[in-house]
A = this chain, B = another copy of it.
Amino acid sequence: MIVRPHPSPISLLFILRGSIIRAIVAELVVVFLAAACVTGVYHLRPMWFSGISLAPFTLLGLALSIFLGFRNNACYQRWWEARQQWGQLIAETRSFMRDLGALLPGQEERRQRLGRRAVAFAHALRCQLRGEPLEAAQPWLPAQDWAALAALRGKPGEILNIQSREIAGALRDGAMTDILYRLFSERLAVMGNIQAACERLQSTPTPFAYTLLLHRTAWLFCLLAPIGIASTLGWMTPFATVVLAYAFFGLDALGQELQEPFERTANAVPLDALARIIEISVLEALGETEIPKPLQPQDFVLL
């Protein structure tokens, strides 16, 4: 995520970081060259272009705008849902710690284990979503838990299973009633729902056929538009075409980036920073005194 004070209007025009322009510069060059060719032909054979107007291309451009608007909305919703799920995970972990603190007052060790394992869950989920090894979860887990995870595919889910067995142990010890067991069981179920929702967002992009259809329509438009523009704008045609291509390809590329909200990119959800917030919340609830600091943006980017 890019974090910066709202820049002045003029500096806004020259910011590169976070700009989508680097992702589409190749497309813009191709479009420019193609438009330059069309303009060249127009100057050699202007009569070929007599009577050609922009109207048919306008129609294509407008249809494209509407479809891009629709797809961007879908991509933005995915990105925002990803952020919501992680916000919910922060809230659930805090509620989990709150009830642990209130209901297991004499059982410091058990609380420590349960709390630290909640942090491990957040790290394991984060690493799985980013396709990274799960080592970040290891320092937060007892050794036998970490060993038990090794053989399993569904590592974050297994951490929840261990949590559940530990709490059920308290139920059998008589340290907790079944009413209170249910309270914790529902917190763990919500964490499981968050995990499933994140896996859904990660594994199911918007239908590939949309990407294809929009991308191809955008190319068709940008390559054909100069034919309609040349007779109107003459040598300015390539520049005008690039401006249009910037808007269309830019929105297309931005949607592409937003629809993968868990990647380690500048516009994605900052999982590292959110996992750190969970660490801080848990350690403060456990009464630790050495609390790490929240992650700070590097070069305006929070990962």
Contact = CB atoms under 8 A, between A and B. Distances in A.
Given A91-B196, A179-B178, A233 B56 contact: yes
Interface string A178-194: 11111101001100110
A185 B188 contact: no
Contact of A160 (B19, B98, B217, B234): B98
Q: 6 shortest A-B CB distances, which residue pairs?
A: A102-B168, A91-B196, A2-B208, A87-B200, A95-B189, A63-B65
Contact of A88 (B62, B65, B91, B193): B193
Contacts of A161: 97-98, 101-102, 285
How many copies make up the complex?
A: 5
B9 A26 contact: yes
A232 B56 contact: yes
A268 to B, nearest CB: 9
A281 interface: yes
Interface in A116-167: 152-154, 157-158, 160-161, 164-165, 167
